[in-house]
Structure 1
């Protein structure tokens, strides 16, 4: 049974096609306070990065901190370490969206090396990125000290995710796209955070056993992110569009509205698959306590991501935000 979270009332939403549960951490106010303090302490006031972060964490109600929603059963101290870690990852992700790909790949490799002590003697640039590398090393050490086994799992998933943009290409089919999209959306990284933050240690056999379900959640998250972010991405000039709406428009010569409706339909069908698989897993005998808690929290994470994406200004009002002109 959950012990750190409470349910979020979603009955007020004007429309909601998700049947996944939404819960939030009991310490949501403290988590929001810590998040904003970290943003102000690590980013120059008025800078583009500072405005991006504040906009990302703008809330439209008391139950809108993305961390308190996503890892609703996390230990609070671990949650704060995760927030430090994820804010650095998000800063890197902003770089890869804005910088030329070759520069992004170079910085990606430096960030990857920062996960390992053997590269700690590597020189770092005397700039904001160098400072992030130093902070990344410090957070790595603190997370590893708390749970070394869980950190190795995070390390492995980060190895897979950090260079993911180098695998983008012209997709032959939606199925081929979604096979990478479930990784690109960060599902394996984020679910390793669930286990680390809750002290859940699954065996290798258990991780293999749950993989099909985790992948199904990842496909749903990728489709959901595509659907929610399309309004934000549709006018952005880029040569690396990662969105199933764009793919369907291009591959099948569909008008935008038809492609959006098609993605929504596929998303609803995928959600049904996730819920069916979850029910089947819960019905199985012999699952460990950690496995059952993990299955529950995969649902909470997916439901929370939908809820936040539906209401966050980042997606709900994307065209109103220009980081170069933001107040």
Structure 2
């Protein structure tokens, strides 16, 4: 039974809104305050990075902090440390999206090495990226001190996710694309955050058992992100567009509107698969308390991500962040 969260009223949203439950942390105001304070204290006012972060956390109502939504059952103090960690990753991802591919891969490798103490003696650049590496090491140590078992799981999922750009290419079909997209969207990383923030420790057998459901959620979230972010990405200068709308336009020579409609249909079908698997899991006897709590919070995470992506200005009203603008 949830104890740190309350339901979010979604009755004002279109009837086609997701059937996934949406909840938010009871301390949502404190979490939003902490988030904005962190952004303002770690980024130069008026810089492109500062504008990116403020726009990412712009809210359209009282229930819109992405962290309070995504990890609605998290311990508050763990949540704050998690926000520090994710803000660094998100800032890195925003920057590398605009870098040439080879530069993005190089910086991801440096960030990956910062997860391990044996590389701490390596020199870092005297710039903003070097500062991020130093902060990353400090946050790593604090997270590991709180829960070393959970940290190793985060470390493993980050190891899978950080070098993902090496695997990007021109895709031959949607199935092949989605097999990587579920990783590219960061689903395994984000769900490991659920376990760390709630102190849930699953056995290897339990993690293997739940992985097909986690993958189904990841594919759904990847499609959802593609659909929601296409308005923002369609004019974005990049050499590695990662979006199923773009893929289907090229694969089937579709006009843009037809491809968007096709992705919407595939997204709805995938949600049905997620809900079917969820029903089966909830009816499965003999599951541990930790696994049942994790299943519930996978649903909350998925529903929250859809809710936030539907309403967040980041996707609803994309804009340029040139420093001179």
Instruction: Provide TM-score, normalisation by structure 1.
Output: 0.98
1:158-169 pair list within 5 angstroms: 158-169=158-169
Deviation for aligned residue 1:100 = 1.2
Instruction: Within 5 Å, give how 1:74-85 maps onto structure 2.
Output: 74-85=74-85
Q: Are 1:324 and 2:322 counterparts? A: yes
How big is the shift at 1:15?
4.8
- CA distance in 1 between counterparts of 2:237 and 2:117 reads 38
Q: Are the structure 2 counterparts of residues 326 and 289 from structure 1 closer, same or farther at C-alpha, using a change threshold of 3 Å? A: farther
Uncovered stretches (5+) of structure 1, i.e. residues with no partner = none
Map of 1:35-114 to 2, 5 A cutoff?
Answer: 35-114=35-114
Distance, in Å, in 2 between the alignment partners of 1:241 and 1:48 is 21
Aligned twin of 1:300: 300
Cα displacement string for residues 200-219 of structure 1 (whole angstroms, at most 9, x for unaligned residues): 00000000000100000000
- Work out whether 1:255 is the aligned partner of 2:255: yes
Aligned residue for 1:212?
212
- The CA distance in 1 between the partners of 2:48 and 2:137, in whole Å, is 24
What's the Cα RMSD here? 1.0
Structure-2 separation of matches of 1:134 and 1:249: 42
Alignment of 1:108-257 (within 5 A): 108-257=108-257
CA deviations 1:185-238 (Å, max 9, x no partner) are 000000000000000000000000001000000000000000000111111222
SS in 2 for 1:238: coil
Q: CA deviation at 1:326?
A: 7.9
Structure 1 residues 121, 274: CA separation in 2 closer, same or farther (over 3 Å shift)? same
Q: In structure 2, how many angstroms separate the alpha carbons of the residues matched to 1:38 and 1:191?
A: 23
Distance 1:235 1:269 in 2: 28
Shift of 1:105: 1.3
2:47–2:323: 8 Å Cα contact kept in structure 1? no
Distance in 2 (alpha carbons) for counterparts of 1:127 and 1:111: 14
Change over 3 Å in CA distance of 1:326–1:291 after alignment to 2 = farther
Aligned mates of 2:323, 2:99 — CA distance in 1: 19
| Counterparts of 2:169 and 2:124, CA distance in 1 | 31
Alpha-carbon distance in structure 2 between the residues aligned to 1:253 and 1:235: 19
Shift of 1:324: 1.7
Count, aligned residues: 325
Q: Residue 17 of structure 1 contacts residue 268 of structure 1 at CA under 8 Å; is this kept in 2?
A: no
Identify which range, 100-109 or 299-308, moves more after superposition.
100-109
- Contact 2:48/2:323 (<8 A) preserved: no
Determine the C-alpha separation between the residues in 1 that align with 2:171 and 2:68: 35
CA distance in 1, matches of 2:2, 2:204: 25
CA distance in 2, matches of 1:14, 1:287: 35
- 1:264 is matched with which residue? 264
Contact 1:153 1:192 in 2 (8 A): yes
In the alignment, the residues of structure 1 paired with residue 239 and residue 223 of structure 2 have an alpha-carbon distance, to the nearest angstrom, of: 20
Q: For 2:239 and 2:126, locate their aligned partners in 1 and report how far apart those are by CA, in whole Å.
A: 30
Instruction: Give 5+ residue unaligned stretches, structure 2.
Output: none
Deviation at 1:138, TM superposition (A): 0.3
Question: Over residues 124-172 of structure 1, what are the superposed CA-to-partner deviations in whole Å (9 max), with x where a residue is unaligned?
Answer: 1111111100000000000000000000000000000001011001111
SS of aligned partner of 1:6: strand
SS in 2 for 1:163: helix
TM-score (norm 2): 0.99
Counterparts of 1:44 and 1:171, CA distance in 2: 38
